[in-house]
Chain A
Amino acid sequence: MYRYDEFDHAFVQTRVAQFREQVEARLAGQLTEEEFRPLRLMNGLYLQLHAYMLRIAIPYGTLSARQMRQLAFITDRFDRGSAHFTTRQNLQLNWPKLIETPDILAALAEVEMHGIQTSGNCIRNVTSDQYAGVAADEIEDPRPTGELIRQWSTDHPEFSFLPRKFKIAVTGAAMDRAAVAAHDIGIRVVRNDAGEVGYRIYVGGGLGRTPMLARLVREFLPKDDLIAYLEAIMRVYNLFGRRDNKYKARVKILMHEAGTETVKRMVEEEFARLPRAAINVDPAELARIEAYFAPPAYEALGDEPALLAAARQADAGFDAFARANVVAHKQPGYAIVNISLKPIGGAPGDATSAQMRAVADLSERYGFGEIRVTHAQNLVLPDVRQRDLPALYRELLAAGLGDANAGLITDIIACPGMDYCSLATARSIPIAKAIAQRFANPARQQLIGELGIKISGCINACGHHHLGGIGILGLEKGGEESYQITLGGDPGNDAAIGKLLGPGLAGDDVPDAIERIVDLYLAGREAGETFVAAYRRLGHDHFKGALNADRH
């Protein structure tokens, strides 16, 4: 894992001191609320429905056990004992007090964390593949690139007052688990015909009210040119992105209105003109960062198929867990373990401080003290010895973290919705709970197989509903909540935006409609066909009848 050096420490500590002064200046009236707003947002502090909300960055989703314990401490000391992991690999505290936020930021700085640029019209926390560095299908660990981008984008003098927020995701694997097509800039680590490793750059993805998939702008960018190329994209966006309408201000709209080829040409021209050598970072710096992500000291082990088969036969719960939550590791004898934060009846992505501490402990006993946060709002232990899996499963069960539903129908992504968020037009969490309860039967979940349900409580699409195999969007219609259902969304390599199935439904009718969609899938699927694959083959109209009983 990356460790701060004296410069990184100096930066966050200065930032904490500065924020403390800004809070004082706000309270003294030197700053108006309008002026204070971008400053607090740049430190992750939102004003929500009932209180402030502090969003803490977990860059590229990697946490140490020590950091997780500190988050648990902060959750107890400054919040109400639970916190919420988000779809952008951030952690949200829902009840901090304004006056205490500088102290929270100071506590984060102690463990090399911050809330910088988790909000506001700036370059946001960089996200990545939750299996980075341990995935079997990886060209290169994307996290050093993520860390380089984190540092370069931190407090950027030119790009801190953009037309709108700006999200960058990086993946290094053959399978895109970081939804790069849904980001303002998506970066894929690729190898060219000459065998060199570089970047493929996509621009203009985003969800919200106008969902669009990012377009390819650079097939192969040499690694050493990354920062200058990013500055060229950012400058074109900063100058020419729309500022007259916040709903048309993302770079996707610039791409859409000006055309991909025009934006591409503008970026390439800017890239050709700017003083590349003065801007790019010495390759030695990336190498320095890469050294922190060197693989841990793995034992020379062999895979344990016989041991695992016996354990699965002996325990149906473990069998289900191994099937859904355990993923192949690049190192023989090891496995990647997903820890579900989606217990049936719980709020997706919520964790109590006790659970956070339990995960920290388990990451040390069953790994190298490292934890990942996923954009599906779950956690990952990246380096578990296969022979330890049955024991780990029992401990997770004891901590209330043993749900064997990763990637299944009850592994629902949901934004906080009307229960917390001031932007929301409908509730998300109760809908997620009701659907999970409907499909609680483990055997039924396994029968249905891989299926992503994603729920957003408003058009801003924080729940990524556009990318759900089944997407649910909560709107307000004539004073009542109304839920639209989309089908066929896919965040992966064949990224697709879901298509609207029909008119909105009342919240109470959503579980029935989902059940009918699932029944139509089960009736129409071929052996081994996932929901999205079946949807593509069967077509949208196959599912039309699912809504008829519940027109709202």
Chain B
Amino acid sequence: MPIVTERGFGPDGWATVADETAVADGGDVIVSWKRFVAEAATLTGRAGRIGVAVGPDFDVDLHVAGLDGVALVAIAFAKFADGRGFSIARRLRDRGFAGTIRAVGPLIAEQAPMAFACGIDEIAIPDDLAARQPESRWLRAVELRAAVSYQRGYRTGASVFDQRSTGGAA
């Protein structure tokens, strides 16, 4: 499962651990949100960073206080057409989550710059998708998006609205 960032494809430095598997001490692991809630004391006390996997119905406002000690939130995208994860990421950033946000699922290259703009740092994509859509497509999508974007307050280059008011050149 390659990890896509603004710099291209990279390896996954995190181990995703299934609920029924024991979490080893040391190393960076991602566990389900449910398990994290049940075992928070032990999980945050171990060596190595902890990440939580949340579903597309994760309610940020309900749970954001419980993310203390969490270094990564992995948001599941069931399919690329389901854009809830973009708003979850935005809410996490709005409400002050400063760790890594990962999108997990079959996003397409054109969505990478949108994900990054919403505060997502990396995208874990399935191997077959990576084989069909090479790294160059993802980098190209990021490059094209960097050219112009209108919205303010997103993690993009300067908004067109701001560039106009500061007299910035295109």
Across the interface, name the chain B residue whose C-beta is closest to A120.
B81
Across the interface, name the chain B residue whose C-beta is closest to A155.
B149
Task: Report A357-392 residues with CB < 8 Å from chain B CB.
Answer: none
Is the beta-carbon distance between A281 and B113 smaller than 8 angstroms? Answer: no
Query: B95, B117, B162, B169: which contacts A157 (Cβ < 8 A)?
Result: B117
Is the beta-carbon distance between B160 and A151 smaller than 8 angstroms? Answer: yes
Is the beta-carbon distance between B153 and A275 smaller than 8 angstroms? Answer: yes
Q: Is A210 an interface residue (CB 8 A)?
A: no
The CA of A247 and the CA of B30, in the complex, are separated in Å by 36
Q: Report the interface size for chain A: residues with CB under 8 A from the other chain.
A: 47
Is the beta-carbon distance between A7 and B170 smaller than 8 angstroms? Answer: yes
Across the interface, name the chain B residue whose C-beta is closest to A277.
B153
Q: Is A280 an interface residue (CB 8 A)?
A: yes
State how many angstroms separate the Cβ of B132 from the closest Cβ of chain A: 6
Find chain A residues with CB under 8 A from B162 CB: 282
The CA of A280 and the CA of B150, in the complex, are separated in Å by 11
Q: Is A30 an interface residue (CB 8 A)?
A: yes
Q: Is B90 an interface residue (CB 8 A)?
A: yes
Across the interface, name the chain B residue whose C-beta is closest to A18.
B144
State how many angstroms separate the Cβ of A370 from the closest Cβ of chain B: 24
Is the beta-carbon distance between B165 and A158 smaller than 8 angstroms? Answer: no
State how many angstroms separate the Cβ of A407 from the closest Cβ of chain B: 37
Mark each residue of chain B from 127 to 156: 1 if its CB lies under 8 Å from any CB of chain A, else 0. Answer: 000001110010011001101111111101
Q: Report the interface size for chain B: residues with CB under 8 A from the other chain.
A: 46
State how many angstroms separate the Cβ of B160 from the closest Cβ of chain A: 4
Contact A14-B147, Cβ < 8 Å, known A158-B87, A239-B84: yes
Is the beta-carbon distance between A7 and B160 smaller than 8 angstroms? Answer: yes
Is the beta-carbon distance between A5 and B164 smaller than 8 angstroms? Answer: yes
Q: Is A10 an interface residue (CB 8 A)?
A: yes
The CA of A32 and the CA of B82, in the complex, are separated in Å by 17
Q: Is B163 an interface residue (CB 8 A)?
A: yes
Q: Is B33 an interface residue (CB 8 A)?
A: no
Query: B86, B111, B154, B161: which contacts A238 (Cβ < 8 A)?
Result: B86
Task: Report A149-189 residues with CB < 8 Å from chain B CB.
Answer: 151-152, 154-162
Contact A239-B151, Cβ < 8 Å, known A7-B160, A17-B144, A30-B132: no
Find chain A residues with CB under 8 A from B61 CB: 273
State how many angstroms separate the Cβ of A164 from the closest Cβ of chain B: 11
Contact A161-B83, Cβ < 8 Å, known A30-B133, A281-B161, A285-B161: yes
Find chain B residues with CB under 8 A from A157 CB: 86, 113-115, 117-118, 149, 151, 154, 156
Is the beta-carbon distance between B88 and A239 smaller than 8 angstroms? Answer: yes
- With a 10 A CB-CB cut-off, give which of B86, B118, B132 has the most chain A CB atoms: B86
Is the beta-carbon distance between A151 and B150 smaller than 8 angstroms? Answer: yes
Task: Report B89-142 residues with CB < 8 Å from chain A CB.
Answer: 90-91, 94-95, 108, 110-111, 113-115, 117-118, 132-134, 137, 140-141
Find chain B residues with CB under 8 A from A281 CB: 152, 161
| Chain A interface helix/strand/loop/mixed | helix
The CA of A130 and the CA of B90, in the complex, are separated in Å by 36
Across the interface, name the chain B residue whose C-beta is closest to A36.
B108
Q: Is B14 an interface residue (CB 8 A)?
A: no
Is the beta-carbon distance between A238 and B153 smaller than 8 angstroms? Answer: no
Mark each residue of chain A from 1 to 21: 1 if its CB lies under 8 Å from any CB of chain B, else 0. Answer: 000011110110010011001
Across the interface, name the chain A residue whose C-beta is closest to B134.
A30
Query: B84, B113, B133, B161: which contacts A282 (Cβ < 8 A)?
Result: B161
Contact A7-B94, Cβ < 8 Å, known A39-B110, A155-B149, A239-B87: no
Is the beta-carbon distance between A152 and B137 smaller than 8 angstroms? Answer: no
Is the beta-carbon distance between A25 and B137 smaller than 8 angstroms? Answer: yes
Query: A154, A243, A273, A284: which contacts B165 (Cβ < 8 A)?
Result: A284
Task: Report A274-297 residues with CB < 8 Å from chain B CB.
Answer: 274-275, 278-282, 284-285, 288
The CA of A487 and the CA of B111, in the complex, are separated in Å by 45
The CA of A156 and the CA of B111, in the complex, are separated in Å by 11
Mark each residue of chain A from 235 to 271: 1 if its CB lies under 8 Å from any CB of chain B, else 0. Answer: 1001100010000000000000000000000000000
27 A–B pairs (Cβ distance < 8 Å), ordered by A: A7-B163, A7-B164, A10-B147, A11-B147, A14-B144, A14-B147, A30-B132, A35-B80, A151-B150, A152-B151, A154-B150, A157-B115, A158-B87, A158-B154, A159-B86, A161-B83, A235-B90, A238-B83, A239-B88, A239-B91, A243-B82, A243-B84, A278-B152, A281-B161, A282-B162, A285-B161, A285-B164
Which residues of B does A touch, CB under 8 Å? 61, 80-84, 86-88, 90-91, 94-95, 108, 110-111, 113-115, 117-118, 132-134, 137, 140-141, 144-145, 147-154, 156, 160-165, 169-170
A-B contacts besides A7-B170, A11-B148, A238-B84, 6 pairs, CB < 8 Å: A6-B170, A10-B147, A157-B117, A239-B87, A275-B153, A285-B165
- Nearest first, the 3 A-B pairs at minimum CB distance are A161-B83, A157-B117, A278-B153
